[in-house]
Amino acid sequence: MKDRLTDALYGLGWSTVKKLPEPVADRLGRTIADTVWKKRGKGVLRLESNLARVVPDATPERLAELSKAGMRSYLRYWMESFRLPSWSRERVKNGFDVKDVHHLTEGLASGKGVVLALPHLGNWDLAGAWVTTKLETPFTTVAERLKPETLYDRFVAYRESLGMEVLPHTGGSAFGTLARRLRAGGLVCLVSDRDLSASGVEVKFFGDTARMPAGPAMLAQQTGALLLPVTLWYDDSPVMKGRVHPPIDVPETGTKAEKTSVMTQALADAFATGIADHPEDWHMLQRLWLADLEPRPDEARPEGRS
């Protein structure tokens, strides 16, 4: 029953919210965000706990302000995502302003393939739609298999409608497909600040140990593709902002595991730069640091984002 209700609510969002005028959708998102924030549920408390690591000198009042702004940012993501399929091509092209995009365009022009790695900052779906629309470049990504299966199917159909090729995270064949796309000079985009396999790479992140996926670094090593971190953020305008960071090079020495560790740490450092600058736009409502991780079946990705 819970799975059916979740699926129905997401279906209602995509069918109804996308029809609302943009100012109305914005107000609705802020209202929902403020209501959820006031209830102080598990997601909000976890967000505050995570933000306390990002801004260690923040007072309780400052953390409360950040978590409230964080929930508003999170709901902005959802309102935009529900409406994205109805946006015109011009609206998508003008909805994202990215710095240093030359790292991406030059990498694609080289024909070696590019891996874009992002944290859960801002709206990566909008950034992806901008890539397929403004740059006219299709790409391949990976999505977690959500429950119920019908909800996963909705997310796949939604992202495919934006021009993305979507592979399931589970099943074991995604890595090989991604490698083939890169060897053909293609683009791969991966959200990479949270390990879903429990076999990722340990990194130092805001002063403590977290685990992040090895995939981006391994793909770059095995295919010769360029590995580019990307960070996103919102400001007071309707246009999301972003930055493509300089490429992360494959170390010249070391074992494959050692090279992967060095590259993943460099990714984590780039992510930390963007998150520290815009902590309210980091939508991390789950446990991330190893010190916080405990088996908690009740925290099984209620937000449906991957």
Query: What's 196's domain CATH number?
Result: 3.40.1130.10
- Answer yes or no: is 69 within a domain: yes
Three-point CA angle 219, 130, 232, nearest 5°:
70
Are 101 and 72 in the same domain? no
- Answer yes or no: is 138 within a domain: yes
Are 105 and 201 in the same domain? yes
Are 59 and 45 in the same domain? yes
Q: Check if the beta carbon of residue 145 is closer than 8 Å to that of residue 168.
A: yes
Q: What is the pLDDT of residue 198?
A: 67
Q: Where do the DSSP E strands lie in 33-113?
A: 96-99
- Answer yes or no: is 292 within a domain: no
Q: Which of 37, 63, 86 is the last residue of a domain?
A: 86
Number of domains in the chain: 2
Classify residue 148 as exposed, middle or buried by CB count within 10 Å of its CB (0-12, 13-18, 19+). Answer: middle
Three-state SS at 298: helix
Q: 234: domain range?
A: 88-281
Per-residue pLDDT of the chain (306 residues; tens, 9 = 90+): 555 656 666 677 767 888 888 899 899 999 999 999 999 999 999 999 999 999 999 999 999 999 999 999 999 999 998 888 889 999 999 999 999 999 999 999 999 999 999 999 999 999 999 999 999 999 999 977 656 666 667 777 778 888 889 888 765 578 999 999 999 999 999 999 999 776 799 999 999 999 999 999 999 999 999 999 999 999 999 999 999 999 999 999 999 999 999 999 999 999 999 999 999 999 999 999 999 986 544 444 444 455
Q: What is the pLDDT of residue 293?
A: 83
- Answer yes or no: is 291 within a domain: no
Helix (H) or strand (E) holding 201: strand 201-205
Residue 95 has which token pair? 């909805």
Q: Report how far residue 59's alpha carbon sits from residue 43's, in angstroms, rounded to the nearest whole number.
A: 20
- Answer yes or no: is 306 within a domain: no
Q: Which of 52, 86, 120 is the last residue of a domain?
A: 86
Q: How many CA atoms lie within 13 A of 35 on its CB side?
A: 7
Are 138 and 92 in the same domain? yes
- Answer yes or no: is 240 within a domain: yes
Q: What is the pLDDT of residue 294?
A: 66
Classify residue 163 as exposed, middle or buried by CB count within 10 Å of its CB (0-12, 13-18, 19+). Answer: middle
Q: What is the pLDDT of residue 118?
A: 97
Three-state SS at 198: coil
- Answer yes or no: is 250 within a domain: yes
Classify residue 175 as exposed, middle or buried by CB count within 10 Å of its CB (0-12, 13-18, 19+). Answer: middle
Q: What is the pLDDT of residue 298?
A: 46
Q: What is the pLDDT of residue 4?
A: 62
- Answer yes or no: is 166 within a domain: yes
Are 153 and 224 in the same domain? yes
Are 181 and 101 in the same domain? yes
Are 96 and 241 in the same domain? yes
Helix (H) or strand (E) holding 257: helix 256-277
Q: Which of 86, 101, 122 is the last residue of a domain?
A: 86
Q: What is the pLDDT of residue 107?
A: 96
Classify residue 75 as exposed, middle or buried by CB count within 10 Å of its CB (0-12, 13-18, 19+). Answer: buried
Are 67 and 103 in the same domain? no
Are 66 and 98 in the same domain? no
